[in-house]
Chain A
Amino acid sequence: MSTGSPEGTAGWPPPVLDPAGPFAEPVTTVSWVLFAMAGAVLTLVLVALGVALFGPRRWRKRLGGARLIWIGGLAFPVLVLSALLVYGLGLTSHLADDPQPGEMRVRVTGEMWWWRVAYLDDRGREVLQDANEVHIPVGRPVVFELDAADVIHSFWVPRLGGKKDMIPGRRNYLRLQADLPGSYGGQCAEYCGGPHALMGLVVVAHAPGEFDAWRARQAAPAPTAALITRGSEVFRRSGCGACHTVRGTDFNGLAGPDLSHVGSRRTLGAGILPNNQGTLGGWISDSQAIKPGNRMPAYPVLTGEDLRAVSAWLDSLE
């Protein structure tokens, strides 16, 4: 049972030591092995140091020669490190990320300071767009294709596996797998300027049946999308469609996150706020106060009523 915020960024146990899939578990194991090794070596060194400084004369004489260096500084480390190296090399190969045929593929593009998500069909074409939240089925490896739109970012969901950088000009691959349903929090791990500290993400793993249901829901536009409400009018009037897409409407901007099903996301602002009408309104009215430097301008000119209306509409896009 882990503590932490509902969007899955657990506090305790530490995510790196709380693996939820086969690409994270061996790394957790090697972490414990390494900690044990380091602890043992540190203890040995401290004991040797203690004896050297405070020990009885006989012991100090034994340690006070080149033999200690040969044994402690050469023989012992060479043995231990050789073993670790072979272990590490084997594990590295085992965790190699070359995509296998038939694996589900998701393309995530790092943007300043959010994540553009696209689900690919088996021919590698983008069939579904989303943002900041990735949904995967449990029990199957998923290949993440990692691109960068502007600067270097890094995709890191510690409970599911190690990180991989997103570098402009190249496409990197990362295979992750969740064995338990739930939300797994992550964060951008390569400094990308500005509010890099607030570039979080969520990976949601579903049991297979639920995942298919989710996919079906996502493929269709939200039922309330096409409704002409006060909220959608505010959206249109404020020019939001220039940056955002809402499927089922004529809002088709690509500069910012896809909002077609924003109401169903667990978080807002790239993993940093819970998602409800209040936070939606707060974000729209002044996202610069929450996440300074982000690419969305503040909208101080919107009245309270307008804000409530547009938040309600967006919230309804599930």
Chain B
Amino acid sequence: MTSETGFDADRYKRFPTRGPRPDGELEELERIWCKPKGWQWISAINNNYVGVYYVGAAMLFFVLAGLLAVLMRTQLALPMQGILAQETYNQFFTVHGTMMMFLFAVPAVEALGVLLLPQMLGARDLPFPRLSAYAFWAYLIGGLAFFCSLFFGLAPNGGWFMYPPLTSMTYSPGINADFWLVGIGFIEISAIAGAIEIIVGVLRNRAPGMSLDKMPMFAWAMLIFAVMIIIAFPSVILATTLMELERALDWPFFDPVRGGDPMLWQHLFWFFGHPEVYIIFLPAAGATSTIIPAIARTPLVGYRLVVMAMMATGFISFGVWAHHMFATGMPTISTSYFSAASMAVSVPAGVQVFAWIATLAAGKMRFNTPGLFAVGGLVTFVMGGLTGVMVAMVPFDWQAHDSYFIVAHLHYVLIGGMVFPFFAAIYYWLPMTSSRPLSERMGKWVFWLMFTGVHITFLPMHLTGLMGMPRRVYTYLPDRGWELPNLISTAGAVLTAIAVLLWIIDMARNFRPFGNREAGNVFDGPGLEWLPTGLYSVRSVPVITSLYPLWEQKGLSRDVEAGRYFLPNSATGRRETIVTSTLNAEPQYLQRMPVPSPWPIWAAVFTAAAFLLLTIQAYWPSLIAGVLGIYCVFNWCWTLDRPVDQLTADIGAGIRVPTYRAGPSSHGWWAMVLTLVVGGMVLSLAAFSYVFLWSRNPGEWTPPPPLASLPWILAPYAAAALLSWGACRILRLARPRSGLIATVLLVGASGLVGLGWVLEWEAWRGIGTDPTAHAQGAMVYAFLAWQGFFAFIATVMGLYASLRWVAGLIAPDRPTTYDLIALFVVYTAGQGAFAALLVHLFPGG
């Protein structure tokens, strides 16, 4: 294999090293990566802690949403019951769906990634641990607040996909819908933060030698999952922002009377919503692709086919969104394109299923609890996938859409494709974090009760749908034959609930995390996560030569624990991990990691508070919380990009790497670029929305401001981009005044984007544009709002830059802070220019 970075792979031959390790080396590692004491568990950032919290929170929301489901099924057991009042039921089913999709499914698999990936990849932690902590706490607080809205009768009641006009101010005047819109806001932040971290972690923080073809399948799954989040979540961010603007400020995006269109919501929501379900499925499939080989004690058959299948699922799932809209009256040829793509997306899923079957045939399966859940999930998922192919056929969907047939389909694929694999994952990996594994005896009861319960609940629903029962109904009339299947479904739900209860009891009896010992590799799995670890993850980072290191690299555990590989110590006396190259995982530099800090936690609290106060329309308190949140973020970032004691460090066997990296291959740069991709996706989708709304009513759109105003608006943006670039170049010149000049240029650039924004706003105000009058004005102002948000952040960043310079923290050999700010400002300038060009030139005068 040719080298990617010029690293000489022969140097790997130095490992495992001989001879004893120096005294105190291990103790120093333990001290640096010490356990949180007392209240410090709240500010813990180590993935061993945050990962457990995260999975725990996700399972809490699973149980809560499941309880709602049991109550719903109780109401539906018999016709015309009054166990749940109509409004209560409508809130329950909305919250059930919303919680399961947003507060359980995505966070759970993200949590699994946080918990497992560093160990699985041989890294000491995720690349941005404080970001994971922030994401977790924001998610927990937001999620709990969202659930509690039920107790005040303020829970949303528009269904988990919240179609307007039902959810507009006219038909949903209360703040219920706002709880949904804002509650989802949290999850969006949380999910995107996690996604950024996972992409950087999987691509840049692997053990040396772990080239792409030796990367664990779960890591592939998480990588693709995270990229999908970056591309898909912006759609729901845009949709929820537009809807909130419509509700709060009466800007008519979805109001057909004023040039809007309810279909815009559907397009935006499902462009997110369909990839969302594959976002949920892929990590679980990755887990199944890990667990089945481990339990059957044989390598996965068709590794490359499965990698292709996951990539194909990732791409093609973005082309099927309108199969949720087959009954909306779209042109036939359009629905046919989506039908074809929906057929195509089922092929890679089948590839994975047969890879699992082939692996089972090649190995010797053990029917322990993880094995049962993995196989049970396979069967259930295949059934759900088959009904999926059925509804991909448009004429059949015209009957099945919005009926209980769909409820059956979606639960089969989600439970078979995610829930069962997730339980398999819990049983399989729990011994890694707990001093006791879960009980196999009880586990088998949990599995069989859950499997039976799920099928009894959802199998009859296929029939119920064909009998004409629509979904989202709080009751139904007697004498249609719907009673018997509904009663059976309710019985199944009770059985499922008992299974979950048994699992909770088992967890209470056996789950003992954060102790000094773990139960260990109870199932004899092959992955790196089964190496003996401490809070510092592995004692030394091994050189990887196989996809199944613990099976094929003899003596690996012993050598790793004895410190005979990379980084058996702390090279700089701080927390650190190795950054490696993307394709071949060649060591590139040593990444300094932060210590636990309360600032991300407080930032999460204030972010949550700002959103929640906004929902209940307490505007000034919300503003104060926002400012405090920014203050916390400043403090959080203040410890970044600090001077290094040593320019290079010995990471093992005399191999030295730099301790600082600037420029496009640094992890910070990658994080910023990924964030900007999110921004760019929102911008592109806003442009789509703009053109879409125009296409619905071309005759109603009015001319833009005179063309002469455009250059005046573009000029500040161009200047801002130039100044930002200039700032970075000048800083690197390392002249005496470089720091000052660079700072001034950067602050100036951030000011200029603000100026561009003001000029654009003035131009439209000048011709009397009223965003409440018509969708065109609303869209122009929506672009302004989005751009204004970015211009505001740019200004805040300018302030931060000034503070850094004043504190003497700016140096030519550490340009990363200014590089990242410059990237953001250049993007903002580009975004502003693009939006201005679009709304001024299309459709034109």
Residues of A within 8 A of B (CB): 3-5, 9-12, 14-17, 26-27, 30-31, 34-35, 37-38, 41-42, 45-46, 48-49, 51-53, 55, 60-66, 68-70, 72-74, 77-78, 81, 84-85, 87-89, 91-93, 95-96, 112, 150-152, 154, 156, 158, 161-165, 167-170, 172-173, 185-198, 200, 272, 292-293
Contact = CB atoms under 8 A, between A and B. Distances in A.
A190 B468 contact: no
Nearest to B484: A11
Given A11-B479, A151-B166, A158 B468 contact: yes
A163 B402 contact: yes
A41 B386 contact: yes
A217 B401 CA distance: 37
Contact of A15 (B90, B392, B468): B468
Nearest to A29: B395
B358 A65 contact: yes
Contact of B480 (A11, A63, A156, A172): A11
A186 B467 CA distance: 11
Given A65-B301, A74-B351, A167-B263, A16 B468 contact: yes
Given A38-B387, A49-B379, A5 B477 contact: yes
Contacts of A169: 256-257, 260-262, 696
8 contacts: A10-B480, A11-B481, A14-B468, A49-B378, A51-B361, A78-B347, A169-B260, A185-B468
B463 interface: yes
Contact of B393 (A42, A88, A198, A292): A88
Contacts of B475: 197-198
Contacts of A191: 158-159, 163, 166, 402, 471-472
B803 interface: no
A173 B400 CA distance: 19
A16 B466 contact: yes
Given A42-B386, A72-B350, A73-B354, A92 B395 contact: yes
A91 B402 contact: no
Contacts of A172: 328-329
B360 interface: yes
B327 A162 contact: yes
A11 B354 contact: no
Contacts of A95: 395, 398
B81 to A, nearest CB: 12
B186 interface: no
B39 interface: no
Given A4-B480, A164-B329, A193-B171, A65 B362 contact: yes
Interface of B: 85-87, 90, 157-159, 163-166, 170-172, 256-257, 260-263, 301-302, 305, 309, 327-329, 332, 335-336, 339-340, 343, 346-347, 350-355, 357-363, 365, 375, 378-379, 382-383, 386-387, 389-390, 392-403, 463, 465-468, 470-482, 696
B166 A165 contact: no
B166 A162 contact: no
Nearest to A59: B361
A14 B462 CA distance: 11
Listed from nearest, the 7 A-B pairs whose CB atoms lie closest are A169-B256, A162-B398, A11-B481, A64-B362, A197-B473, A73-B354, A52-B361
B394 A154 contact: no
A52 B355 CA distance: 11
Contacts of B474: 197
B339 A45 contact: no
A12 to B, nearest CB: 5
Chain B interface helix/strand/loop/mixed: helix
Given A27-B399, A164-B329, A49 B305 contact: no
B347 A163 contact: no
Contacts of B375: 49, 53
A104 B359 CA distance: 60
Nearest to A200: B477
B399 to A, nearest CB: 5
A114 B355 CA distance: 51
A63 B361 contact: yes
Contacts of B400: 16
A221 to B, nearest CB: 32
B468 A45 contact: no
A139 to B, nearest CB: 22
Contacts of A161: 398
A66 B400 CA distance: 36
A72 B481 contact: no
A235 B173 CA distance: 32
Contacts of A197: 86, 470, 472-476
B99 to A, nearest CB: 18
B473 to A, nearest CB: 3
Contacts of B343: 81, 84-85
Interface centre among A9, A37, A173, A195 (most CB of B within 10 A): A9
Given A81-B343, A85-B340, A16 B482 contact: no
Given A12-B481, A42-B383, 9 more contacts: A14-B481, A27-B398, A45-B379, A49-B379, A66-B301, A168-B256, A168-B262, A170-B256, A186-B468
A63 B358 contact: yes
A190 B360 contact: no
A185 B163 CA distance: 26
A190 B401 CA distance: 9
B365 A53 contact: yes
Contacts of B365: 53
Contacts of A53: 360, 365, 375
Contact of A27 (B90, B171, B396, B477): B396
Contacts of A4: 479-481
Contact of A52 (B336, B358, B382, B402): B358
Nearest to A192: B166
Contacts of B476: 197
B305 A66 contact: yes
Given A68-B358, A92-B335, A16 B390 contact: no
A154 B327 contact: yes
A294 to B, nearest CB: 10
A106 B165 CA distance: 24
Nearest to B481: A11
